[in-house]
Each structure stands twice: as structure tokens, then as C-alpha cells.
Structure 1
Amino acid sequence: MFRTFRILILLLILATVGLSAWRSNSRLTAWENTVHVALYPIAGDDAPSTQAYLAQLDNSQFAEIAEWIQAETQRYGKSLLQPIALQLAPPLREAPPLPPTNRSQLDIALWSLKFRWWASQHDAIAGPKPQVRLFILFHDPARTPQPPHSTGLDKGQIGIVHAFAHRMQRRQNNIVIAHEMLHTFGASDKYNLATLQPIWPQGYAEPDKSPRLPQTWAEIMAGRIPLTETRAEMPASLQQSLIGPETAKEIGLLRSTR
């Protein structure tokens, strides 16, 4: 009985949160006003090199994300001068609650609420109130050669990004940040979870290209450039990535004909 009551309360809360998120997302995907995105750096480990990396971060190291978004929105015919404005917050000392290893719907829903609450308590930043908040955990690559999976809440306006605390990985970090940011706009993943291979046609930047392979660019929500049916490679930077037609429909850049 108590479990049933708990689930009903949770569903009510989720419905309320979902309605609020839907309204906020509608404003994000209208592409009529600048969306303010806050980046909150966090040390993902206690390595001195990670602390040193966080200390030297500034807005310029993430500027290419905003520039790339502007170029992509213009490619889809949007004339907004500054689609997104990125602002770097001071480093946080506390890490957010991470997604559960047990992926049951109830556990994920509970984590989502917990994360939303945590984010609301750790959102101090100068300037305009951000519509999107990304909490970036930086890891020493010598300690963590393969960081955990990043998570952007679909239409939730918040996300957790795992990145490398090394200047040579800045461009790859920015690809991951852009990917998770677009999740908060409503974009979905477009790769096979088992093989990491982009899914045709939605995971291809140019799905109508002939011959189909090799592709030239990575679709941002697929994350890799398809070269053969079984092989794909990471793009070197956002300059080798595009927002494909399906993602453009999901985030409001392209009107769906369905």
C-alpha cells in the first residue's frame, strides 16, 4: 500500500515537472531569443592536475560551441544573431548525484528528481539566469582513460558531462558538451548503444549522400563519422560535426513533415 502511494506521489511530481519542462523547452526550440547556458566545472577526482586544469578554465575555451551552434542555426535558415550564450561558473566543490546503475524506470525517475533538486541548490552564477545548466566533471585522463557516460535530461534543461582535464582534449570535450546540451533541447541519441555505430538514416549528417559511405561529417547526436558499415571514427572537433535533419526536427530547427 505504501509503495503504491509512493509511486502515485512520484507520478504526480513527475507530471508537474514534465509540464514545466515542456513549457520551457518550447521556448528553447523556438529559436527566437538567446538561450543562456551555464557551465559548472567540477573536479571528478582529487588529482592535483585536475585542480590546476579547473583553475585555468575561462569562457574562451568553450566559445567554439556557441560559434558552431550559430553556424548550424544559420544553415537551417534561422537569423538569430546569438542563438546561445555560454557562461562559465566558478568551480563547484560538490558533485551531482550520478545516474543509477539499476536502470529501472522508478530508479531513473527518482534520480531525475534528486538531480533536479540538487541542481536548483547549486546554480549560482553571475549574469542572466540560465535556461540550461550543464555540470561538467573533469577527470585526469591518466586515472580515468574512459570517463563515465554523460547524461543530458531530454527536455530537462540540465545535464551531467564527463570530460578530460587536459588541454589536448579540449575540442573533444566541446563535442561532448554540445551533444549533451542538445539533449536538453530535446535531441535523442542516434547511435547503436552496443556497437556505438551511427544509425542510418537518423545518425548520418548527410543521409541522402550517394554513395552513402564514407560520410564526411559526424552527426552530432551520433558522435562519429561513419566510414564503413562497421567502422566509424570520432570527429577531431565540432568543425567536423553537423546537426542532421532528424535532430534539426527534434530541436525545432526544421519543421517536421510527418
Structure 2
Amino acid sequence: MFKAFRILVLLGILVTVAGTTLIARWQSQSWKRPQVVTLYPISAQGDAATQAYLDRLDDAAFAGLSSYFQAEAARYGLPLAEPVRVVLGRRVQVLPPAAPRDAGPIGAISWSLRMRWWAWRQTPPSSPRPDVKLFLIYHPPDFEGAVPHSIGLEKGRLGLVHLFASRAQQAQNEVVIAHEALHTFGATDKYDPATLLPVYPAGYADPGQEPRYPQARAELMGGRVPVREGEARIPASLRQTVIGPETAAEIGWTK
């Protein structure tokens, strides 16, 4: 009897979670109102240089994000003056659980649940209420080696974004933030994970261009600007990126 009751409770929890996820997905892609994306800075190592950078961080560091989404949404005829409202939240002092490397589906699910629990406990109160929470993990400007891979989760509508604590990197930081933000709205990557090269044609900003190379812009979810066969560069800023038609359809901007 107790076992049956426990199974019913677990089924109830699963149904509730599934229903909440479906409702959140519908709300995020209906675009009936601005979606609030709140950014929570975190120092990766607690070093003095990064702490000083975060002390100076203000809304101006992210000013290009809202206007970028506004301009791109207007290109697709979205009848919403401000589709995405970017808000700088308070700093978070506790690092999130590290994302697993090649942990397989079970490990990924386990991390996702731990990440959502951590976010629920550690997110500072903010106004307006966020629809999307992005935790910006800043690394020292002299950090050597590759930073961990950034992750945006549609389920839970949150993300971990690894950035550099440098004013010189702010424009490229915005590109990474915008990319991960779109993951939380349902956009998929459009690059080959093995080579990081954009996939043709969905990962190209101008797939019909002749000759095909060099491209002048990157498709945001493609991540890089293709310059020749087998070679691509990181865009310097959001001005060198566009949201392609396949991505626009995934996030509900087109049918």
C-alpha cells in the first residue's frame, strides 16, 4: 500500500513538472509581453581583478542586448516593441555545480536537476520577476586555457555563461550571453560540436550569398563567421550577427 502511494506521489510530481514546463514553453514563445532576462554576475575564482571588474559592472555593459533583440524581432514582424528586457541582478556569491563532461544522458539530467535546485536556493530577489535567469561566471582577464562551455537550458529557463572580466571583451561577452539566452527560448545550436564550424545552411547568416565565402556576419546560433571552407572566426560584437529564419521559427518569432 505504501509503495503504491509513493508511486502515485512520484507520478504526481512528474506530471506537475511536465505541465509547468509546457506552460513555461508556451509563455516564452507566445511573445504576448516582454520576456525578462535577469543577469546574475559571479566571480569564478574570487580574484581581485575580477572582483574589481564586477564592482564597476552596470547596465551599460549589457545595453546592446535589448536593442539587438528588438531590431531582430522587428525584422520578422513580431508585434512587440520590447521582446526581451535585460535586467542586471545582484551578484551571487556561491558557484553553481560544475557541468559534467561527457557524462551521458543520466549525468546530464542529474546535473540539470542539481542546477535548478541550486538556482532556486541561490538566486537573489529581483524586480521585475525574471522569466529567464542567466548566471554570468566571470573569469580573470589573464585566464589561461579554455573557459568551460556555456550552457542554456530551456527546461528551467536558466543558463550558465562563462565570460572574461575585461572591458575589451564586453562586446564579445554580449554575443555569448545572447546565444545562451536564445537556448532558453528553444533555439538549437547550428554548428558542428566537433569542429565548432557553422552548419550550412542554417548556421550561415547569408546562405544564399555568391560566392559563399567570406561571409560578413554570423548566424547567432551558428556562433562564428565563416571566412572560407573549414575556417570561421568569432564575431567581434552583436553587430556582426543575425538571428536566422530557422532560429526565429524555433523561438516562436515565425510560424
Q: Taking structure 1 as the reference length, what is the TM-score of the superposition?
A: 0.91
Q: Provide the rounded CA distance (Å) in 1 between the counterparts of 2:224 and 2:61.
A: 22
3-state SS of the aligned residue for 1:223?
Answer: coil
| Residue of structure 2 equivalent to 1:92 | 92
Q: In the TM superposition, what are the counterparts of 1:165-244 in structure 2 within 5 Å?
A: 165-244=165-244
- Tell me, yes or no, if structure 1 residue 133 matches structure 2 residue 133: yes
Q: Provide the rounded CA distance (Å) in 1 between the counterparts of 2:196 and 2:173.
A: 18
Structure 1's unaligned 5+ residue stretches are 1-8
Please tell me whether the aligned partners of residues 92 and 124 of structure 2 are also in contact (alpha carbons under 8 angstroms): no
- Tell me, yes or no, if structure 1 residue 36 matches structure 2 residue 47: no
Please tell me whether the aligned partners of residues 39 and 135 of structure 1 are also in contact (alpha carbons under 8 angstroms): yes
Q: In the TM superposition, what are the counterparts of 1:19-34 in structure 2 within 5 Å?
A: 19-34=19-34
RMSD: 2.1
3-state SS of the aligned residue for 2:20?
Answer: helix
Q: Provide the rounded CA distance (Å) in 1 between the counterparts of 2:232 and 2:174.
A: 19
Task: Work out the number of aligned pairs and report it.
Answer: 250
Q: Provide the rounded CA distance (Å) in 2 between the counterparts of 1:166 and 1:43.
A: 12
| Residue of structure 1 equivalent to 2:107 | 107
Please tell me whether the aligned partners of residues 219 and 244 of structure 1 are also in contact (alpha carbons under 8 angstroms): yes
Q: Provide the rounded CA distance (Å) in 2 between the counterparts of 1:117 and 1:192.
A: 31
Structure 2's unaligned 5+ residue stretches are 1-8
Q: Provide the rounded CA distance (Å) in 2 between the counterparts of 1:104 and 1:190.
A: 21
Please tell me whether the aligned partners of residues 66 and 86 of structure 1 are also in contact (alpha carbons under 8 angstroms): yes
TM-aligned CA deviation for residue 146 of structure 1: 2.1
| Residue of structure 1 equivalent to 2:153 | 153
TM-aligned CA deviation for residue 10 of structure 1: 8.5
Q: Deviations over 1:98-117 (max 9, x none)?
A: 21124211111111111111
Please tell me whether the aligned partners of residues 154 and 188 of structure 1 are also in contact (alpha carbons under 8 angstroms): no
- CA separation of 1:213 and 1:102: change in aligned 2, threshold 3 A: closer
Please tell me whether the aligned partners of residues 201 and 207 of structure 1 are also in contact (alpha carbons under 8 angstroms): yes
Identity %: 45
